[in-house]
Each structure stands twice: as C-alpha cells, then as structure tokens.
Amino acid sequence: MSRILTVRGGVPLKGRVQVRGAKNLVPKAMVAALLGNTPSTLRNVPEIKDVEVVTSLLQIHGITVEKDPVTGDLTMDPANAKKASSAEINTHAGDSRIPILLCGPLIHSIGHAFIPDLGGCKIGDRPIDYHLEVLRQFGAVVDKTGSGTSITAPNGLKGTKISLPYPSVGATEQVLLSATRAEGITELTGAATEPEIIDLIAILQKMGAIISVQTDRTIRIEGVTELSGYDHTALPDRNESASWASAALVTGGDIYVEGASQRDMMTFVNTFRKIGGGMDIHDDGIRFFHKGGALKPLVLETDVHPGFMTDWQQPLVVALTQAEGVSIVHETVYENRFGFTEALTRMGASIQLHRECLGSIPCRFGQRNFTHSAVISGSTPLTGANIHVPDLRGGFSHMIAALAAQGTSTVTGIDVISRGYEHFTAKLDGLGADFDVIEANGKAGRK
Ligand code: EPU
C-alpha cells in the first residue's frame, strides 16, 4: 500500500527547496557509463525512483555502481559488463521508460540487449516505434518476445541517416547512445534539442565522442571505436524548478528554488512573468513568489524545446485556475495530458476540455479523438477533495491544488510523485505545508 496524505489547505508555501540533477538526464547519463572503458562519475544525483531502477539494471549487467555516502555521487565501472538473465531484467517490467535506452550501449558492450516492458506516466499511448525503427536503421534485429524485447546486431551497429517524424527526446537519445560507438557517420535530422539532450551530448563528448549540433535540428555523430569514462555534474532539474514556481503562485507563497537555472528555463520565466508572478533571478537559484493581487490569464501552447515544456503545463494549469479571466492551453506533445483536470474540476475549478486545436498552430492531435486543449475560467476558489494521483506531474498538481484549497484533502498514490521529485514530502514540510502522512504500515507521521 502506498502512503496516504491528509492535507489541510490554505497555507502559503514559504521557504527554500533545493533542486538537484534533472530526472530527464541523470538516468540516461548512467546508461552512457556503459559505453566507456573506464569508470564514470556522475555528480548532483537526486534520490528518485528512476535512479534506483537504472542502478539495479546496471548492477544486473555486472556494472558496479558505488554511491558516495556523503555527496550521493555515483561511480559506475563497466569493466565486468555481462549478459543478464531475462527473468532478473523483467523484475523491472513497468517501472520506467529508461530501459529502452540501454539497447545501443548494451549491444556495444556485450553484443545483446534484452529490455523489459516499459512503464512511465500514462499521459498518452507513448509508443516506442521511433526507438525500434532507429535501432533497425543501425542494423539491429528487434525481436518482441512474450515479455520484453530482445535486440541483437549480428554485424554490429553501423552509422546511418535517420530522420525523425517528430523531435522525440527519447528517440534522439537512442540515436546518440547508439551512434557514438557505431561504425561510420550518423546524421540525424528532426532531432530534439532539449537542455537535457545537450547535457548528454556534453557527457558523450567528455568520453571522446565526436558530435556536432547544427541549427536546423540536425545532429552529426562520427562514430569512434572507444570511449573512456566521464566526470560530470548533472544539469539541475528545470521541471522540478518550474513545479515549485507554480506551487508558490497557487498557494500565494514565496519559494527560493536553489539550483533553478534561468538559462534552461527562459520560456518558463517569460510565461511566469506574463501571468503576474514575481521573481528574483540569481546565479544559484530563483525566488518565485506571488506578488499579491490578481493573476493574469494566458494563451499557452506546449511544444518541444525551446517552446513551453509539456512537463511545466500541469502545475501551471492549477495556477491558471486562480487567474482572473479565461486561459487557453493547447497541449501539442502528448495527446492525453489533461486527465488530471477532472480532480481540479471536482475541487471547484472551471476547466473545459476540447478536441480541437485551440492554439495558433494546428498540431498532430487535431481532427482526432484527443481532448488536448483546455479552457480554464478563473478565478475559482478550490475546496478539499479525495484525490488519487494519476501520474508524476498530475500528482504534483493535485498536491498543490490541495495545499491551496479550503478544507481537507485526502491524497492517495503519492509515491508516484517520488519518481521525479526528490524528498517530496520533506520539502513540503520545510515549506510549512500542513499535512499528515499515513505510512504503508499504518503509522502516522509528518514526512
Ligand atoms: N513518440 C512516438 N513514438 C516513439 C517515441 C515518442 O510516437 O517511439 C511520441 C510520444 O508519444 C509523444 C512525443 O513523441 O507524443 C514526444 O515523446 P518523447 O519521445 O519526446 O518523450 P520521452 O522521451 O518518452 C521525455 C521525458 C518526458 C517529457 C518528454 C518531452 C524522460 C524520461 N521523459 O519523454 O518527461 O515529457 O521527453 O519533453 O526523459 C516527465 O518528466 O513528467 C515526463 C513525462
């Protein structure tokens, strides 16, 4: 049984939180360590579920993973990489989406990859067709077994020309992790260029890879036969930073997010300013606060980088329920990322979902059966409710709605939130939130 939270709302969140390495980079950087012929050290590693899953998958494959007891830095030594049993690998079925990225590195290091069925948030179909097509183009043979997928490359992975139908983050990473040690040159067009991808490229370059990023979403990789280990400090989590920023707005609070990096959050900073949020931007973090008075409504479209990140959308929608007037949000990255609004509506928000593209650019989900646009009319007071957390960002959004609401909410399924938010309830506690936790063993506590 997962923990249950009883939240008494109406208390502005105030104080400091520290944000560490990005969830959407760290597990992939750990996978990259498999490509080196010497140990790699990764710094600024958060204690989140995906790190645990990848640690275990690496260990199952013979890679030693040592955690510095003081800093939490990870040192990974791939010297004894070996095949693992599919039964052991399958213990991670449904845990995460990261295992699909082990394919290229495992083929390079041990000649074969077996990956479990994937997990991850239910925010759309989340197919892996781009990944499998990329692997096939490198010369891999993909065999879907009853449970899991087996991948081999009888003639090794060979550089190739790849064009992605959509700038997928994961498929771009799949290309990078497969191409750096493939024979010959790989040219990828239609690549994603999120800051986490650029940080992964920086890691691979430290290891000895030759990768150039052109201005037109083209990435060129000249394969090399050997890579060494790396020493790298992961970029901070811009999605967690933006989530705490929205939490400050929703609860009328004031949060200094230590580690928030303006450079990676420019689009968010613009949006936060337009809605009427207050900010002090420093080199070591950003103070996000509610300035008092009314928040302003917005018309917003999510997009790939440098657009407004889809992972910022859900917490910001909660803030828009508190803005005076009508806001429109068009989600163009995932077809089904508004499921979390049902609970907000029960709490008193006025949110209508539409199938049409209500943004300036028609997206690939228009004229289909996906409710991917939202009209939010505010401001509406929120009242406490019973909520079950649906996914990572939706769960965070529900929590901040409960913290802003009048009355008491009961929130179940909160362990999903720890997939991407390090020490989540301890941070809430530090910000003055009023809640109790009932642990799985039935004991009540504060964290
Ligand atoms: N897509 C396909 N086929 C594929 C791969 C993707 O159709 O083979 C589609 C997806 O269904 C989606 C779109 O392409 O509609 C974009 O997906 P992408 O591959 O970019 O996403 P991802 O790599 O699976 C990462 C993050 C997500 C983040 C997206 C977009 C990780 C572990 N996850 O997912 O993070 O939303 O990029 O930036 O890096 C989150 O942190 O809450 C989260 C969901």
3-state DSSP of 344-382 = HHHCCCEEEEECCCCCCCCCCCCCCCCCCEEEEEECCCC
- In Å, how far from its chain's centre is CA 420? 7
Nearest residue CA, atom 43 of ligand 1?
Answer: 311
Any ligand 1 atom below 6 A from CB of 97:
yes
pLDDT in tens, 203-227: 999 999 999 999 999 999 999 999 9
For the chain, which residues score pLDDT lower than 70?
A: 1, 120-125, 440-447
pLDDT in tens, 425-439: 999 999 999 999 988
The CA 87 to ligand 1 mean position distance, Å, reads: 27
Write the secondary structure of 185-221 as one string of H (helix), E (strand) and C (coil): EEEEECCCCCHHHHHHHHHHHHHCCEEEECCCCCEEE
User: Of the residues 31, 96, 97, 166, which should be mutated to test ligand 1's pocket, given the most ligand atoms within 8 Å of the CB?
Assistant: 166
Sheet containing strand 350-354, edge to edge, reads: 299-301, 325-330, 373-378, 350-354
Cβ contacts of 267-276, under 8 Å, gap ≥ 24: 267/306, 267/307, 267/308, 267/309, 268/238, 268/242, 268/308, 268/309, 268/312, 271/298, 271/300, 271/308, 271/312, 271/316, 272/245, 274/298, 275/249, 275/316, 275/319, 275/320, 275/323, 276/323
What integer pLDDT is reported at residue 409 of this predicted model? 98
Any ligand 1 atom below 6 A from CB of 422:
no
By residue count, the chain amounts to 447
What integer pLDDT is reported at residue 194 of this predicted model? 98
The CA 168 to ligand 1 mean position distance, Å, reads: 6
Q: What span, in angstroms and rounded, lies between the C-alpha atoms of 285 and 269? A: 13
Single pTM value for the model: 0.96
Any ligand 1 atom below 6 A from CB of 171:
yes
Q: Which of 395, 425, 435 is nearest to 413 (CA)?
A: 395
Nearest residue CA, atom 37 of ligand 1?
Answer: 169
Name the token pair of 230.
């790396």
Q: What span, in angstroms and rounded, lies between the C-alpha atoms of 239 and 246? A: 11
What integer pLDDT is reported at residue 222 of this predicted model? 98
What integer pLDDT is reported at residue 444 of this predicted model? 66
Nearest residue CA, atom 28 of ligand 1?
Answer: 311
Dihedrals phi, psi of 243, to nearest 5 degrees: -65, -45
What integer pLDDT is reported at residue 1 of this predicted model? 56
Any ligand 1 atom below 6 A from CB of 24:
yes
| DSSP-assigned letter for residue 420 | T
pLDDT in tens, 274-314: 999 999 999 999 999 999 999 999 999 999 999 999 999 99
What integer pLDDT is reported at residue 340 of this predicted model? 96
363 is catalytic: no
